[in-house]
Chains A and B, each alone.
Chain A
Amino acid sequence: MAIERILFTTKFREDDYQTLLELTELQKVGLKEIILLHVIPREEVAYVPFGGYLKERALELSEGARLRLKEWEEELQIRGFKVKVMVEIGEPVAKILQVSEEEKANLLVIGRKRSTYHLIPEISERIVSRSNIPVLVYRKIVHFEINGEIFQRENTKVFTKPLFATDFSAPSKRAINFLLNFKDLIEKIFIVHILKEGTFEASTEEALNRIEEEKKAKLCQVLKDFQAHNLKCSIFLGIGDPSKEIIAYAREKESTLIAIGKTGKGLLESILVGSLTKSLLHRSEIPLLIVP
């Protein structure tokens, strides 16, 4: 599936425009059309208690958003993109998913809330968990915290050094295929598998070695898949908390993107143990690509 059409959602955060411009590099891999979407949460203009609907406020907000997006549209058109501007009123998650489906976008790009602890707001989590198309969670400027210290990171050229975290599942295989869309932008790809502590039984060193060998063999197979497309790759097998290990490794290797396949979990399991996707959404300052 080529990346010909992306849906870029904006809440007009200070770096949204810069984030959008960063994505124009996707032109090199076939991007032709960008849909710009701003959703005005229904609660801002509707359900005034015992009042009704704030028609004038809705018009003001819609028109304000449209004017800003028109300016972005002009810049993108100069760069050779076809652009569609959409301003909608509704429940943001539902509306974004509805538009992504109706417009047949190949990639959905959503931002993330600037925060010192929870880097991801609940809304992004809900979009990621329900989207049927790949989602790129990306902001150019991100503030994050390590051991109580606040850092700022500038995410540029996000597709140059992706880290691909695999669990060898079907969604992971789909993620490989999707990542290959960006091969002309990728300089090196880090293929990672983390053995989750406490989830495998290895009472002896010999048993552990056997598991390691088995996983490394699988990693090598993934490596070959990428190398077949002339991509420079390396593999890493780790043990520990998957999201922490993935982020630590990505930081160490100055990776520009973390890509994963979305594994569906039941409601109960998701509540009790969480999911890797959710955990990465909360912890990672590095852009995330989640492929369903």
Chain B
Amino acid sequence: MALPGQELPVFSILPFLGMLLSIALFPLLAPRFWHRHYGKISLFWAVITAIPLWIWFPSETTHTLLHVFLAEYIPFIILLGTLYVISGNIYIQGSFSGRPLFNTLYLLIGTGLASIMGTTGASVVLIRPLLRANANRRSKTHLVVFFIFLVSNIGGSLTPLGDPPLFLGYLKGVPFFWTLNLFYPMILCTASLLFIFYLFDRHLYSKELPKEVVNENNYSFTIKGFHNIIFLIGVPIAILFSGNFHLPSITFLGIDRPLQEWLRDIILIIMGILSYSLTSQDIRDKNEFTFFPIKEVAILFFGIFISMIPALSILQAGKEGPLRSITENLTTPIHYFWITGLLSAFLDNAPTYLTLLSSCLGHFYTDLEVKEALRLLILERPNYLLAISCGAVFFGALTYIGNAPNFIVRSIAEEKGVFMPTFFGYLFKYSLPLLSPLFLLITIIFFRV
């Protein structure tokens, strides 16, 4: 009982645009107002999306809203929340010294961990040790910028746990291990960026006096809350279980969901609770753990999930929908890579991924169910999904607003006294010069027709 996208007017996507523009512009233009009222703004866009839909298509809207809420939004928040809690219960201690080789290796390890812990979790856990290790360095801005590139974004590309767009794809039907197809583009980006980082950091390091970079703390390397590694391993196992075991469906509020998905969500919640209760509060204090960032993500994504319903329905209608002129012109993986990417850079990458994926499915498989259409897309045109996935994950690093962990890292760094460039400073001084050549290279190597 899906919403008929072909019958929806184009203006029904305006609240979605409003929501995305709010995320993009309020933090720049009115940060205090936004900080205080982002919840109300998110709710506002959700409500003005839902009311007209209810008037036009009451039963389809109710069903779609419930489906989005129960089968997409709740699992999405449960996964992000669980990874965030588990990560926040792990504390890395050591007398690290912020030398170029250490920093480079640290970023490499962080990039790898991001696909396991999620970019949000990895960012929260790993940024503070990096800043502590470099506490005596004069130049720290570049560390945070490369950390955002690699740990907060690119590193999350290998599993659906890594980055929210990929998990949304998984919920739609992309197989868990399919995202490993992003390995080569990811390695290309990571290796190039780490190489540039090492040279840059070594250059800056050589200009600083050696005594300034000595870390006087004398801690042996320890991972506190190590038992949480079990939970970190448990998360992908729970997700794999839900993807590979087929149990009967359970109908709740008229929405059919397979039992294994309910079980997965319950297991994730239990793991989050166990991780929290079995870990000393001292560890969370050391990590300066707070639920606030994840609460913000939950509130904002509530607005995003609801307000993007008309846009997704219209795009899924493909050639029969009112946005056929757009969907018909997106014909090659290059189009999808760059359009998904550029939109992901300035809007949040998770809804952008879904929007472009819907558009792609609507273009090639108009009359099919999403899961079946996805199956065929992966079988017949895998490069399109690769392009959308790479675009969504990699371009999230282009701006502070591209991906939620970017702003968390920026906030932590600024609180610790690191000078961070403005929105445009980050864009023009760091991300465009460093990332756009890489994205061109990826286009040439992987998506050239």
Contacts and interface: CB of A to CB of B under 8 A. Distances in A.
Interface in B1-58: 23-24, 26-28, 31-32, 34-35, 38
A197 interface: no
Contact of A42 (B34, B277, B415): B415
A12 B404 CA distance: 34
B292 interface: yes
Contact of A89 (B23, B290, B415): B415
Instruction: Give the size range of B's interface with the partner.
Output: 35 or more
B292 A51 contact: no
B372 interface: no
A47 B288 contact: no
A187 to B, nearest CB: 39
A91 B27 contact: no
B415 A49 contact: no
A207 interface: no
A42 B400 CA distance: 20
B292 A47 contact: yes
B385 interface: no
A50 B23 contact: yes
B328 interface: no
Interface stretch (A53-61, A68-76, A188-196, A245-253): A53-61
B410 A49 contact: no
B407 A48 contact: yes
B285 interface: yes
Contact of B281 (A46, A53, A130): A130
A52 B408 CA distance: 6
Contact of B34 (A45, A48, A58, A91): A48
A98 interface: yes
A53 B23 CA distance: 15
B292 A54 contact: no
Contact of A49 (B284, B285, B407, B420): B407
Nearest to B408: A47
A184 interface: no
Main secondary structure of the interface of A (DSSP, over half): mixed
A94 B288 contact: yes
B293 interface: yes
A264 to B, nearest CB: 14
A267 interface: yes
B429 to A, nearest CB: 16
A55 B297 CA distance: 21
B116 interface: no
Interface in B165-189: none
A53 B27 contact: no
Contacts of B35: 48-49, 51, 54
B411 interface: yes
A52 B414 contact: yes
B174 to A, nearest CB: 26
Interface string B379-419: 00000000000000000000011001011101110110000
Interface string A83-123: 00000011100100110000000000000000000000000
B296 interface: yes
Which of B24, B348, B410 has the most C-beta atoms of chain A within 10 angstroms of its own C-beta? Answer: B410
A63 interface: no
Nearest to A53: B414
A179 B312 CA distance: 68
A231 B441 CA distance: 84
Given A52-B420, A55-B414, A47 B407 contact: yes
Given A43-B290, A98-B285, A49 B34 contact: yes
Contacts of A97: 285
Interface string B347-382: 010000000000000000000000000000000000
B85 interface: no
A50 B288 contact: no
A145 B371 CA distance: 60
B415 A94 contact: no
B35 to A, nearest CB: 5
A51 B31 contact: yes
A150 to B, nearest CB: 31
B411 A46 contact: yes
B411 A48 contact: yes
A58 B34 CA distance: 16
B27 A51 contact: yes
A42 B284 CA distance: 15
Most-contacted residue by chain B among A48, A89, A94, A267 (CB, 10 A): A48
B38 A42 contact: no
A98 B297 CA distance: 29
B288 A43 contact: no
B404 A42 contact: no
B103 to A, nearest CB: 22
A51 B34 contact: yes
Contacts of A43: 290, 292
B311 interface: no
Contact of B38 (A49, A54, A267): A49
B83 interface: no
Interface string B247-288: 000000000000000000000000000000100010011001
Name the residue among A46, A49, A52, A53 with the largest chain B CB count within 10 angstroms.
A49
B410 A52 contact: yes
Contacts of B239: none
A47 B32 contact: no
A159 B279 CA distance: 38
B442 interface: no
B79 interface: no
Contacts of B31: 48, 51, 54
List the 9 closest pairs (A to B, CB-CB), nearest first: A51-B27, A53-B414, A94-B285, A52-B410, A53-B411, A50-B401, A48-B35, A52-B411, A49-B296
9 contacts: A42-B415, A47-B407, A49-B27, A49-B34, A49-B35, A49-B297, A51-B34, A89-B415, A98-B285
Interface of A: 42-43, 45-55, 57-58, 89-91, 94, 97-98, 130, 267
